[in-house]
Amino acid sequence: MNINWFPGHMVKTRREIRESLKLIDAVIEIRDARIVRSSKNPEIDDICGNKPRIILLNKSDLSEDKVTNKWIKVLSSNNVGVLSVNCITGYGLNNIKSLLDNILQDKHEKLKNRGINKIVDRVMVVGIPNVGKSSFINKIARNKIARTGNKPGVTKSKQWIKTKIGMELMDTPGILWPKLESSETQLNLAFTGAIKDEIMDTEELAVHLIEVLSSNYPDKLIERYKLDSLSDNAIDIIDNIAKKRGAIIKGGNIDYNRVSNMILDEFRSGKIGTISLEFPK
């Protein structure tokens, strides 16, 4: 499966981010806790340079806690703080201000020594499409400023948003790299909805997802779909799921479109269970 989704506005976004770095104090990078490696834009380190950074592992309610905690340990450093969050419910977001104060401590002390006590940090929010940037901003700003949606590509213009906790946020459109690096990365982004379903073969995608889940989370598949056992063949598993759920068309044939979309939807919403698709090396 070869995926290359790079709308024209994303080229402009990369340029704008580089040009805007001089205006900001820190970067908040939002990733998907289920695919921490795949949801990092490989150019983000080059684009943002040595700017202090907070990495938010969003949708942590959909990932395995023990795996997410391992990622936090691996990614954290003196210049990078990491939090497990849910940008819709607000879980974990109360810790952002203290973490930001910590990584910007030197800057704050210099300002206070100059007699500046009311400090407002300007922060750029970045991330791939559909990772939760707008939901994060709306939660922090406590109102519906940034448009939200469960499809990638909703936010398409740069905007500054004031908050009541000493931060001004710059929202940016989601950015993906022009050529997705590996088939694993492509699939992980497609599984989680970071790439539009409209350009995908969802039936093929569901087969790949079942292959991954039957290998790493067989018990959760069996429990969710009340299966007696799992076949070694992903299509056979999908057939059994379709029969259990009544995804059958005339003649007793499997409705692969219906069952494939159902499997993808139930994975993305967490109905199959808490699942992490990537693990720290």
Q: Is 131 annotated as a binding residue?
A: yes
Q: Is 132 assigned to a binding site?
A: yes
Angle in degrees, 0-180, between the axes of helices 202-216 and 183-191, rounded to the nearest 10: 100
Token look-up 């569901």 returns 206
- Tell me if 188 is assigned to a ligand binding site: no
Is residue 196 within 8 A of residue 49, CB to CB? The reply is: no
In this structure, are residues 35 and 278 in contact, taking their beta carbons and an 8 Å threshold? Answer: yes
| Conformational region of residue 211, where left means phi above 0, alpha means psi within -120 to 50, and beta covers everything else | alpha
**Do 66 and 277 meet the contact criterion of CB atoms below 8 Å apart?**
no
143 annotated among ligand-binding-site residues: no
On whether 257 is known to bind a ligand per the annotation, the reply is no
For residue 220, count CB atoms less than 10 angstroms from its CB and return exposed for 0-12, middle for 13-18, buried for 19 or more. Answer: middle
The answer to whether 144 is a known ligand-binding residue is: no
Q: How many helices (H) and strands (E) does the chain have?
A: 11, 8
Is 135 annotated to bind a ligand? Reply is yes
* Number of other residues whose CB lies within 10 A of the CB of residue 205: 22
Indicate the annotated binding residues.
58-61, 130-135, 174
Indicate the annotated binding residues for GTP.
58-61, 130-135, 174
